[in-house]
Structure 1
Amino acid sequence: MNQLDNDILISVEGLSKKFCKDLKTSLWYGIKDLFLGVTGNRNNRELRPKEFWALKDINFQLRRGECLGLIGHNGAGKSTLLKILNGLINPDAGKVTIKGRVGALIELGAGFNPILTGRENIYNNGAVLGFTRNEIENKIEEIIDFSEIREFIDMPVQNYSSGMKVRLGFAIAAQMEPDVLIVDEVLAVGDVGFRIKCLNRISELLNKCAVILVSHSMPQIARICTNGILLDKGKTSLLTNDVGLLVEKYYVTFEDNYKSNEINPFGITIKDFNVNGRSIKENATLNLKHGEDIILSFKFVCPSDIENFSVHLPITDDQMIHVALTSSLMNLGLTKNNNQLVSVDCKVPCLFTNGRFYLGLTIIETNINENQYTIGKTLFKKENYIKFFVKESPLTTSVPVLLNSNFVIKK
């Protein structure tokens, strides 16, 4: 066995787990399985009525120094896999081999005795991880400092808020330096400062242990994971060392969710919508380099009872967070309406990080009163009108910005 094999801390082979949708039937199956287990007959691995595979034939290895991102939609099998790895439930088929101590933060407050204090729970959880009392005492001050709840450490955990439980749970799991650290989505409960602190701590731990991180936050996955698994209905949809590809495939599974309904109370018709010379009816996806321009052109008719209007183009990222906005108000001010066909041309600079973005279209009734713009009715709104990918960007982060675009509106 070579040195690389010695560093394998988790090995999962052909792992499968089935559940039953009905409690009464599940109890009956459980009795039958118990009898079959006693008699030595373990051949019944096929699905029975009302059963389904929560996990089916999962295989992977994780070495020291690696962080596995485990992603997928709700119900994909992530929590079931983590519970098997942590020894909370047994698989129906397959084999799991884990070397060393395992620290897990799977469910909020899991493993805490609510009537004991935070300090007492530190000793309890440390003992479960296999540490001696002396080892825990050597670490307890670091744990309390990391959790940032020293003021409440001698208060019963049942009086802790959700965020305080996460702080204490992660501090115990991380500061005790296990060989394998399993972290579920519970970090989403903590405030942003503590989440950053936790992610930095995970990065430090990668020098000494293997980490499995479950998160619906793709920036978190992309930041610290070295490889990953995309689960879909209990099966491995993708196992890869290319975390960028993993995140992209994850978003593709939710492609239909990004389709936006129109808000169009006045029946505006958008005509001849072109992006970089291509009709949007072709369902074109743009591939842009940082610094290139998105050239838009379209036509519409504004309702006759609207005196003035403005055109706005909001841009969101894959997390549906607004990263930019450009508006005709920035260089044209108000546009008078005479109920004629309006032609809009606009050049939007591409000043974003690498990734996928969506550009929307909003037309709003806009008036001026005492030298201030006032926003009236929304005439037309559609988010995610255009999808575009940005490549070769030197930027690592995006902040919301107002883009100075060149609008030309003609009638």
Structure 2
Amino acid sequence: MQEKEILVKAEGLSKKFCKDLKTSLWYGVKDLISNLSRDDHKRNLRDKEFWAVRNINFELRRGECLGLIGHNGAGKSTLLKILNGLIKPDEGKVTIKGKVGALIELGAGFNPILSGRENIYNNGAVLGFSRKEIEEKLNEIIDFAELREFIDMPVQNYSSGMKVRLGFAVAAQMEPDVLIIDEVLAVGDLGFVLKCFKTIDKILPKTAIVFVSHSMPTVSRVCNQIIVMEHGKSMYNGSNVGKGIDKYYARFIENESNVVFTDNSIELIDAKIESPKGQINWNDNLKVYYHFKLLKDIPVPEFFTIIVDKEQRPVALLEKNLSGVIIEKDGHIMFAVSHNELQLSKGIYSINIAVRSSVNKEPIYRKNSIINFQVIHENETWEPFLLKSTYEVCSYNNPLNKG
């Protein structure tokens, strides 16, 4: 068996759908009547049709992991279903060698009225393994899924996390030649997810993996190839995973902001950062300019700049104003707040602004995603901060080692 043999080859894969069910059924009848003698309907869009996947090409060898990323509706799920043989492409072809395991949809492939144990045998058989081969792996699958107590309970009574554990355990422990993993791992608890990634590291040398996720640190960790999809097409296809992730992140820079609270005593006129194209290199300075206008006669309020990540999780808070903010004529307030040597890790971030009264400390205004910016760095990390560090050689007799 060759270590670098091609296990998955996609050539010009395209798939189109119709937005209207009635029209779709009518097109199907027409295609059957014409006995598919003409291919014009495959190459050209008819009324109400659209390309869900368009001209996707790649090769995936044993030992390689392809990251498939893109926003919801970009065509990832359709492409996965083509690769898994659930639907046929309208154009192009896909060639897959060996056994294929897939975790595409939560609970997919499970018979809900059968027990977990019975579903292990069913799924193993679908993968092409004999009953003897499945029995040899049965205890490993049950232990990995951490479901021994519930393995004879109907799957319809399983929680979403239990289904994920069972599905991944079958797919990974049976060690297929090709493993397709959708976003289902996001449902599992952190401990199990970490165990899954450890298993992926273990089986990857013998397997080709197609991995779909919205977690870019995860994609960066496990993938050595990447395809970025947008409206069914490939925006980027290559081995530079970091470059592909940057293209994915860049799409989120223009998100619209929204006011989530106001007592109508102040409004935000404008906000911007001192950076071209909303991009900041790691360790550069972050400077945010604000322009507010008071709608009521109140003292200078307190301003809080909150930085959140792409999933809207707060990661940092800039100190409130103790000086440097004054009320100009007509109630205008214009100021800048700076943070030197920004060490947020690579990714897309948003700025939320919160304003509260300096008298009674009550909130008076909050607006989310007023500015979106991208931190540029060559490395992707799990952690929200990548802090500068220095290393120095210490001898065994260093005072730090003395009790």
For Structure 1 versus Structure 2, the TM-score category normalised by the shorter chain is 0.7 to 0.9
Aligned residues: 381
SS at match of 2:301: strand
Counterpart for residue 353 of structure 1: 345
Q: Deviations over 1:43-77 (max 9, x none)?
A: 54233333222222221111111111112222222
Q: Residue 245 of structure 1 aligns with which residue? A: 243
CA contact (8 A) 1:309 1:337 kept: no
The corresponding residue for 1:405 is none
Distance 1:69 1:80 in 2: 15
1:134 corresponding residue in structure 2: 132
What are the within-5 Å matches in structure 2 for residues 79-90 of structure 1? Answer: 79-90=77-88
Aligned: 1:387 with 2:385? no
1:313 maps to a residue whose letter is T
Mapped pair 1:324 → 2:310? no
Match of 1:378 in 2: 364
Give ranges in structure 2 of 5+ residues lacking alignment.
Answer: 388-403
- Report the residue type matching 1:285 in the other structure: G
Shift of 1:359: 3.5
Query: 1:280-295 maps to which residues of 2 (within 5 A)?
Result: 285-290=278-283, 292-295=284-287
Residue 261 of structure 1: which of 252, 258, 262 is its match? Answer: 258
RMSD, aligned α-carbons: 3.3
2:107 is aligned with 1:109: yes
1:164 aligns with: 162
| Secondary structure in 1 matching 2:265 | coil
How far off is 1:147 after superposition? 0.8
Separation (CA, whole Å) in 2 of partners of 1:394 and 1:254: 17
1:306 lines up with 2:305 in the alignment: no
Offset, 1:392: 6.9
| Amino acid in structure 2 at the alignment position of 1:398 | P
CA 1:383/1:20 → structure 2, altered by over 3 Å: closer, same or farther?
A: closer
Q: CA deviation at 1:388?
A: 4.8
Corresponding letter in the other structure for 1:166? V
Identity among equivalent pairs (%):
50
Normalised by the length of structure 1, the TM-score is 0.81
User: CA offsets, 1:117-146, max 9 Å, x none?
Assistant: 100110111011011111111111111111
SS of equivalent residue, structure 1 residue 206? helix
Q: Is the alpha carbon distance of 1:81 and 1:153 closer, same or farther for their aligned partners in structure 2, counting shifts above 3 Å?
A: same
Deviation readout 1:11-48 (Å, 9 max, x if unpaired): 011112222223233233323333444x7555542333
- State how far apart, in whole Å, the 1-side matches of 2:195 and 2:237 are: 28
How far apart in 1 are the matches of 2:11 and 2:272?
51
Greater strand share, structure number: 1
TM-score normalized by structure 2?
A: 0.83
Alignment of 1:126-275 (within 5 A): 126-257=124-255, 259-262=256-259, 265-268=264-267
Structure 2 Cα separation of the partners of residues 294 and 234 of structure 1? 36
Equivalent residue, structure 2, for 1:98: 96
Runs of 4 or more above 6 Å deviation:
335-341, 392-395
Q: What secondary structure sits across from 2:339 in the alignment?
A: strand
Question: Greater CA deviation, 188-197 or 56-65?
Answer: 188-197
Residues 322-359 of structure 1 deviation map (CA, whole Å, 9 limit, x = unaligned): 11112227xx49x9989976665544242322334333
SS at match of 1:89: coil
What SS does structure 2 have at the residue aligned with 1:207?
A: helix
Provide structure 1 residue ranges, at least 5 long, that are not aligned to the other structure: 368-373, 402-411
